Amino acid sequence: MLDSVFARRIWERRTGYVWWLLGLVALIGITVAFWPTIQRDTDALGQLFESLPQGFLAIFGADDIETLFTASGFINSRMYSSVGAIIVVFFAISMGTQAVAGEEDKRTLDLLLAQPVSRRSVVLEGFLAMVVMTAGLAAAVFLVLVVCDPLVGLDLPLEGLFAATVGVVLLALVFGSLSLAVGAFSGSRALAIGVGAGATFGTFFINGLAPLVDAIAWTQRLTPFFWFLDSRPLDNGFSWHFLVLAAVVAVFVAGAVWGFERRDVSV
């Protein structure tokens, strides 16, 4: 047993984490490499996108076609509004699930609780490990973009990049802490993953498609993706919207502590 729950969580994920990092770095590297091609073929690509349904652009966080052909719009549509963000979110969900429900599923939770550690510490140190490792993924993307920016002429604002990095971490922590809370209340690994993944995809599509239907447009504001993307952090920097995401994370973590401290544990 390592000295702390936090250290144990980091140690357990060390090998897999390398592959998460490499995969995400490869994705953003390939995305950046395509930017010169996008610049050269703007007219042809513009005609292609004009033939697509209106909802296609909305799902990927673009209000119009012209937005996709700016450096910030292109990076945002690939990294912060779609695939890249989803990867970071799912990593956080996996960490949140493992913190309590994963231990219970492996029938190792009794060994963990037999150590001089409180249930509250199990939850909070598991959450802290989630924060550190999720931030590491987002920081890797930040560094790749900073290094590649002058090479391909993206001209992305540094403050905007930093704000988008913080924002995607908060977004991921919303769903990761949701899975943490579900696992803490239920002890079910499958339920924790299912709720986290379902909430991710459900709110992702609601955020993209709800504005296209007047009757349900208001539901967009119920999604974490709206509070991350609406202020356009890559272009405009930090926004008070991030405080909403942080508050939701705090509520889920508090709920996880409350639920785990009051539940009979099956081992």
- 34 pLDDT higher than 90: no
Burial class (CB in 10 A: 0-12, 13-18, 19+), 60: middle
The mean pLDDT value for 260-267 works out to 75
- 55 pLDDT higher than 80: no
Closest CA to 6 of 180, 131, 135, 179: 131
**Given pLDDT bands bounded at 50, 70 and 90, which one contains residue 266?**
low
Centroid of chain to Cα 134: 8
pTM of the model: 0.90
Which residue's structure tokens are 């296209």?
A: 212
Indicate the DSSP class of residue 70. Answer: S
The mean pLDDT value for 37-56 works out to 62
- Residue 1 pLDDT: 46
- 5 pLDDT higher than 60: yes
- 11 pLDDT higher than 80: yes
- Residue 59 pLDDT: 61
Answer with the residue of higher pLDDT: 107 or 135: 135
* Size of the chain in residues: 267
Task: Kindly report, residue by residue over 219-246, the tens digit of the pLDDT.
Answer: 999 999 999 998 889 989 999 999 999 9
- Residue 70 pLDDT: 78
- Residue 96 pLDDT: 95
- Residue 73 pLDDT: 80
Q: Kindly give, in sequence order, each residue whose CB lies less than 8 Å from that of residue 158, ignoring residues fewer than 6 positions away.
A: 146
Task: Kindly report, residue by residue over 180-234, the tens digit of the pLDDT.
Answer: 999 999 989 999 999 999 999 999 989 888 887 888 889 999 999 999 998 889 9
Task: Kindly report, residue by residue over 144-163, the tens digit of the pLDDT.
Answer: 999 988 888 888 899 999 99
- Residue 32 pLDDT: 87
Residue 115 carries which side chain, given as an amino acid letter? Q
Average pLDDT, the chain: 87
The mean pLDDT value for 130-138 works out to 96
- 254 pLDDT higher than 80: yes
Checking 245-251 for CB contacts under 8 A at 24+ apart, the result is 245/167, 245/170, 245/171, 245/173, 245/174, 246/170, 248/174, 248/177, 248/224, 249/170, 249/173, 249/174, 249/177
- Residue 189 pLDDT: 92
Centroid of chain to Cα 12: 20
Name the helix (H) or strand (E) containing 22.
helix 14-33
Burial class (CB in 10 A: 0-12, 13-18, 19+), 19: exposed
- Residue 76 pLDDT: 85
Q: Encoding tokens for residue 18?
A: 């390398």
- 255 pLDDT higher than 60: yes
Task: Kindly report, residue by residue over 92-130, the tens digit of the pLDDT.
Answer: 999 999 989 888 888 888 778 778 888 899 999 999 999
